[in-house]
Homo-oligomer: A and B are copies of this chain.
């Protein structure tokens, strides 16, 4: 009936996504508390912070101090984001940062120009420079992101052919450089994906790069996040980025709000997986507690559902 995976791997991005987007400042103590709570849930990969220009993103200025403060557990990858060489060097110099190399491609040229002030083609060349840097540091290439893989607010529809072209660039680069294919992660950067299109785009990535693992980074901007995840699960996709409590956006900032909306909510996704009999290695009840802590820290209702309704566990325990 479908190719549902048995085990689903989740990369938690809430702490970085959530606090980076907020205007208010949150204490190092609170942010570390949330990350420590997440470390206790069974999550194996948690994005802690960005090493970016503190003048541009003041909320991430203390990334080094945050990494020093959290209770780092064996077996968990604490990851970070960097956008330039200086950021990468800061991350590399910070104890406890799990360093993994990635390629970042843009399916929308307009989006690349607005965000990076240079074309998608130039960004491809830069990603080749990054590969050299990672090689010099002995850091393996783990993942290739295709951003705006489902559509773009500046240029509209993204043709399947453009996604295929990005995948081919990844394949050729790896072939030329004698590398294994990294995971190919389709990112729905601005919330365009729908379930049937997820199946279609995952399908063309599979056809173009049969040997590659496929991952998804989805935003729940328009409420289709879990429907999109389920469509991907049906295609056998078993790796997703997500944010505890749906951290990372503000769905109630008013109509026509242009702020990025949050990633798919981690605990809602874990609930769905468990209900369908798929394993995640995560303790849902502990994750719900972490989501409630996130809401308490942020100080306004967040978009996660299960954290408000509760899971079905207490009802299943009742005598019949």
Q: Is the CB of B223 within 8 A of A265?
A: yes
Interface string of A156-171 (1 = CB under 8 A from B): 1100000000000000
Partner among B194, B252, B257, B315 whose Cβ is within 8 Å of the Cβ of A275: B194
Say whether A196 faces chain B, with CB atoms less than 8 Å apart. yes
Instruction: Give Cα distance in the complex from A307 to B222, angstroms.
Output: 9
Count of chain copies: 2
Main SS class of interface, A:
loop
Instruction: Give Cα distance in the complex from A255 to B95, angstroms.
Output: 37
Say whether A312 faces chain B, with CB atoms less than 8 Å apart. yes
Chain B minimum-CB-distance residue to A317: B156
Partner among B227, B307, B316 whose Cβ is within 8 Å of the Cβ of A227: B227
Say whether A154 faces chain B, with CB atoms less than 8 Å apart. yes
Min CB distance A225 to B, Å, is 9
Say whether A318 faces chain B, with CB atoms less than 8 Å apart. yes
Q: Is the CB of B309 within 8 A of A276?
A: no
Instruction: Give Cα distance in the complex from A301 to B302, angstroms.
Output: 12
Interface string of A99-122 (1 = CB under 8 A from B): 000000000000000000000000
Residues of B close to A155: CB separation below 8 A: 318, 320
Chain B minimum-CB-distance residue to A267: B223
Min CB distance A115 to B, Å, is 16
Residues of B close to A276: CB separation below 8 A: 194-197
Q: Is the CB of B4 within 8 A of A305?
A: no
Chain B minimum-CB-distance residue to A231: B230
Q: Is the CB of A223 within 8 A of B315?
A: no
Q: Is the CB of A309 within 8 A of B196?
A: no
Q: Is the CB of A315 within 8 A of B153?
A: yes
Min CB distance A29 to B, Å, is 23
Min CB distance A307 to B, Å, is 7
Residues of B close to A195: CB separation below 8 A: 230, 272, 276
Say whether A304 faces chain B, with CB atoms less than 8 Å apart. yes
Say whether A8 faces chain B, with CB atoms less than 8 Å apart. no
Min CB distance A251 to B, Å, is 5
Instruction: Give Cα distance in the complex from A224 to B226, angstroms.
Output: 7
Interface string of A3-31 (1 = CB under 8 A from B): 01000000000000000000000000000
Q: Is the CB of B191 within 8 A of A223?
A: no
Residues of B close to A304: CB separation below 8 A: 223
Say whether A254 faces chain B, with CB atoms less than 8 Å apart. yes
Q: Which of A215-267 contact B (CB under 8 A)?
A: 220-224, 226-227, 229-231, 251-257, 261, 265
Say whether A192 faces chain B, with CB atoms less than 8 Å apart. yes
Say whether A199 faces chain B, with CB atoms less than 8 Å apart. yes
User: Could you show 13 A-B contacts with beta carbons less than 8 Å apart?
Assistant: A151-B312, A155-B318, A155-B320, A156-B315, A194-B272, A195-B230, A221-B309, A222-B309, A224-B272, A251-B308, A252-B301, A252-B308, A255-B310
Instruction: List 6 A-B pairs, minimum CB-CB distance, nearest first.
Output: A223-B305, A194-B275, A227-B227, A223-B268, A226-B227, A252-B301
- Contacts A196-B277, A255-B292, A261-B309 known; list 8 others, CB within 8 Å: A154-B315, A156-B315, A156-B318, A156-B320, A195-B230, A195-B276, A223-B265, A257-B309
